Amino acid sequence: QKEVEQNSGPLSVPEGAIASLNCTYSDRGSQSFFWYRQYSGKSPELIMSIYSNGDKEDGRFTAQLNKASQYVSLLIRDSQPSDSATYLCASYNAGNNRKLIWGLGTSLAVNP
C-alpha cells in the first residue's frame, strides 16, 4: 500500500515565525512531490513541486526533498495569518496509474 503521511496538526505558529510542515512517503519509486494549500471550503492550489534532492525556494516557501529518507518538507518563512490553511503533500509515480498519492494534510494556524 503506497502511502503519504503527514501530521494532522494543528500546527500553531506566531506571525512572522517559520512554519515547518513534514511529509513521509512509502513508495521509493516516487519521482515527483507536490505541496498544495487548501483553504477551508475551497479547492487545493499548487504551491510547490520538487523533483530532486535538496532545497527548492519560491518566495517565502522552501520545499526540501530527501529521497534516501523518503521525506519531503515545506518551510514557510515570515508566516502570515493568511497562510492559515491545510497543507497537502502528494507524491507521483508515473507507474502508478498516473495518480497522485495524497497525505491527509496538516492544518496550520498562524496567530497574529
Partner 1 sequence: GAVVSQHPSRVICKSGTSVKIECRSLDFQATTMFWYRQFPKQSLMLMATSNEGSKATYEQGVEKDKFLINHASLTLSTLTVTSAHPEDSSFYICSARPTLRDTQYFGPGTRLTVL
Interface residues with partner 1 (CB under 8 A) are: 31-32, 34, 36, 41-46, 49, 88, 92, 94, 97-100, 102, 104-105
Task: Please state, in angstroms and rounded to a whole number, the distance separating the CA atoms of residues 37 and 42.
Answer: 10
Q: Is the dihedral of CA 71, 67, 56, 97 positive or negative?
A: negative
CB of 32 to partner 1, least distance (A): 5
Query: Cβ of residue 85: shortest distance to partner 1, in angstroms?
Result: 14
What is the smallest separation between the CB atom of 41 and partner 1, expressed in angstroms? 8
